[in-house]
Homo-oligomer: A and B are copies of this chain.
């Protein structure tokens, strides 16, 4: 429903109706709670309106030769956004307040008092629990000579009426790679400029090499380890001396920053850093009854990451006396370009710190489905502890990556190592047979020297324990 009772104390107020906020509000309503949901922009947040939904719709439309992929994307996105908006407006237990919320330093009994700036003036919301799900905003940089009218971030990208002739993408993360693939597929000339020496720099070079080779084969110009120094009359001059002519659109995709200002964090005494609101994996902040989930915490900056924590916040608020669930499971990440990329586990930097490990690399064309489908750009990299084969990190670039990664997510969540995955049977000929091959390779690498492996594993664990203490 629209509007709330400013004098009443609600069980929970949720700030922000994006992925994290909707998960929290709808989840709590499932327990019969009345929730006030405050949103100043569009219901659905970035994901529905300017993020995952339009980007994946555009990728699919581009891959399937849709005659007007941008219009198709807007139409589908608007359908979903309207549906979500209606669902919230009509929800009996959710009171939607359209405006921008700030925490205050005031309490009313057990309740936190939240101020909301609406078109009709300021109103107050009283709630025992406040879930901050304020999201993030696209970062931008100034480039000398760049005409503002040429610039978009993901927040305006899907509104451009026609595909550019020549798109310059600044940045090399998930949005940059996905949009390079989508626009290249619909005939736009695409150049991507990234400061770091690799795209998707959080991934392993074995994976990013595959992604880069694929992007080049799609006709995307990759300019890595360099920057755009200036843009004159549609010509971008890079620090490495390259000049890219005829640029008519610049997509800034250099990262996202949590939207921290105007949340009233100082007033309410909620700990935060420039990277985000500090919260544990239940969403608990430094203030009792104030929670934070999603991009505003700066943690995973993904819809599923926001959702995973928000689901736990819901449990913590609705069922405070139930035994706690076990710790937050492994959170995979995925990039939906060509090839799809997905990974799960500790970071590549943390992997590097572990000496007692084996690395298994299997190319898609090492297994038969790669052969029948002629897959050139596909690889699985698994880093495992020696002896046990405990999964430290797994990354897949190739068809089915985002679905296949779940096998590793489940393995990590339940402590199942590659040694035990040796006996797992995958359908033939599926892409997932790369996992069988990795398990075989691990067995081959270790079976004749199990005592050595055991010692290496034990010493490695001891070293890490010693370092920590």
Residues of B with C-beta under 8 A to A433: 304
Q: How far is the CA of A413 from the CA of B417 in the complex (A)?
A: 13
The closest CB in chain B to the CB of A368 belongs to B53
Nearest Cβ on chain B to A156's Cβ, whole angstroms: 20
Contact with B along A426-460 (1 / 0, CB 8 A): 11111111010000000010000000000000000
Residues of B with C-beta under 8 A to A410: 407, 410-411, 416, 421, 424
Contact with B along A366-401 (1 / 0, CB 8 A): 001101111000000000000000000000000010
Residues of B with C-beta under 8 A to A336: 429
Is A430's CB under 8 angstroms from B403's CB?
Answer: yes
A88-96, A193-201, A214-222, A323-331: which lies at the interface: A323-331
A132 within 8 A of B: no
The closest CB in chain B to the CB of A30 belongs to B444
A298 within 8 A of B: no
Q: How far is the CA of A431 from the CA of B403 in the complex (A)?
A: 6
A402 within 8 A of B: yes
Is A428's CB under 8 angstroms from B302's CB?
Answer: yes
The closest CB in chain B to the CB of A331 belongs to B425
Residues of B with C-beta under 8 A to A414: 414, 416, 420
Residues of B with C-beta under 8 A to A308: 423, 425
Q: How far is the CA of A3 from the CA of B222 in the complex (A)?
A: 54
Is A372's CB under 8 angstroms from B57's CB?
Answer: yes
Is B428's CB under 8 angstroms from A406's CB?
Answer: no
Is B403's CB under 8 angstroms from A424's CB?
Answer: no
A342 within 8 A of B: yes
A346 within 8 A of B: no
Q: Kindly state the interface size class of chain A when it binds its partner.
A: 35 or more
Contact of A429 among B52, B331, B368, B420 (CB under 8 A): B52
Nearest Cβ on chain B to A450's Cβ, whole angstroms: 10
A337 within 8 A of B: no
List residues of A (161-183) whose CB comes within 8 Å of B's CBs: none
Q: List 17 A-B contacts (CB under 8 A).
A: A76-B374, A80-B368, A304-B428, A329-B423, A329-B425, A332-B426, A334-B427, A400-B404, A403-B404, A403-B430, A403-B431, A406-B424, A406-B426, A409-B425, A410-B421, A410-B424, A414-B420
- Give the interface of A toward B (CB within 8 A): 19, 30, 47, 52-53, 56-57, 59-60, 76, 80, 302-305, 307-308, 325-326, 328-334, 336, 342, 368-369, 371-374, 400, 402-407, 409-411, 413-414, 416, 420-421, 423-433, 435, 444
Known: A60-B374, A404-B404. 13 other contacts (CB 8 A): A47-B428, A52-B368, A329-B423, A333-B427, A334-B430, A402-B427, A403-B403, A403-B404, A406-B424, A406-B430, A410-B410, A410-B416, A410-B421
